[in-house]
Structure 1
Amino acid sequence: MEKINKRLIGSTNEKIAASYLETCGYIILDINFRAGKHGEIDIIAREKDYICFVEVKSRRSLLFGTPAEAVNKRKQDRIRKVAYIYINQHRLHDNNLRFDIVEIIMENKSLAVREINLIKNAF
């Protein structure tokens, strides 16, 4: 059985999500913003009056729940912490903030994208 490179799939899906967000009117500001040991945010974008911090999650099956359900409270807290570091570094204090999730559901065998869902204000 062929080994799946999760990091490669993740970075590919982040690019797919960024392109999808652009078609939805988002302006991509940053991809894979890392704040040291605090973690990273997959995509940071502007949509109208909002700075959006976007988590990209993908699944090959819904057997264990939707991709968004994998963004648990602990993950949300981590994303918030990194978001505030970004806000401070870029002096964006006067902006509206939002946390979105892009779900990518892939074909099980081919890993082709079957469906993309954007969940605005996910948490």
Structure 2
Amino acid sequence: MRFLPGFNWWRKWLGSTSEKEAASYLENKGYGILARNWHCPAGEIDLVARDGDCLVFVEVRSRNAAPVEDAAASVNETKQAKLSRLAKWFVQKHRLQAVLCRFDVLAVAWDNGKKKPRIEHIQGAFESTGN
């Protein structure tokens, strides 16, 4: 899919704003946010949170005026494998091998004219691929 010149700012804004809304949503549910946009040589994890004793790696998917199901379904096997590798980097770097881990997806959908998005939280959206 090709985008019009200058359209990249909109995608960045939508992604950044959606990640902020997702973090706020999780905090309101009692999660502790440990990291936002955590980087390593292999890539980036949108959010790393703690839900009780569980370490949660969160992929935030956003869509403008699209069903939240579309956003959640966009976390395909390739993306799941990448997130699994990134989670291993995080766990090793912070020496958290003994901590339970989970992969969640937060699908964020912005309806036209709405100031707040619809958010669907899919806990345990997929298992680590073992890569």
TM-score (norm 2): 0.84
**Pick aligned residue for 2:108 from 101, 104, 108:** 104
For residues 94 and 80 of structure 2, the distance between their equivalents in structure 1, rounded to whole angstroms, comes to 21
TM-score (norm 1): 0.89
- Deviation track 1:81-100 (CA, whole Å, cap 9, x = no partner) reads 01000000000011000000
Please name the residue that 1:113 is paired with.
116
Amino acid at match of 1:50: C
For residues 57 and 20 of structure 2, the distance between their equivalents in structure 1, rounded to whole angstroms, comes to 15
**Pick aligned residue for 1:76 from 80, 85, 95:** 80
The verdict on how the C-alpha distance between 1:66 and 1:47 changes in structure 2, with shifts beyond 3 A counting, is: same
Please name the residue that 2:38 is paired with.
33
Cα shift at 1:114: 3.6
Amino acid at match of 1:35: C
For residues 52 and 121 of structure 2, the distance between their equivalents in structure 1, rounded to whole angstroms, comes to 16
Q: Which moved more, 1:41-50 or 1:110-119?
A: 110-119
Q: How many residues align?
A: 121
For residues 96 and 86 of structure 1, the distance between their equivalents in structure 2, rounded to whole angstroms, comes to 13
Cα shift at 1:8: 1.5
Matched-pair contact (CA < 8 Å) for 1:25–1:47: yes
Q: Which moved more, 1:65-74 or 1:14-23?
A: 65-74
Matched, 1:8 2:13: yes
Please name the residue that 2:48 is paired with.
44
Cα RMSD after superposing both structures: 2.1
Matched-pair contact (CA < 8 Å) for 2:66–2:111: no
Amino acid at match of 1:22: E
Cα shift at 1:111: 6.7
**Pick aligned residue for 2:23 from 15, 18, 35:** 18
**Pick aligned residue for 1:92 from 96, 100, 108:** 96
User: Please, which runs of 5 or more residues in structure 1 have no aligned partner?
Assistant: none
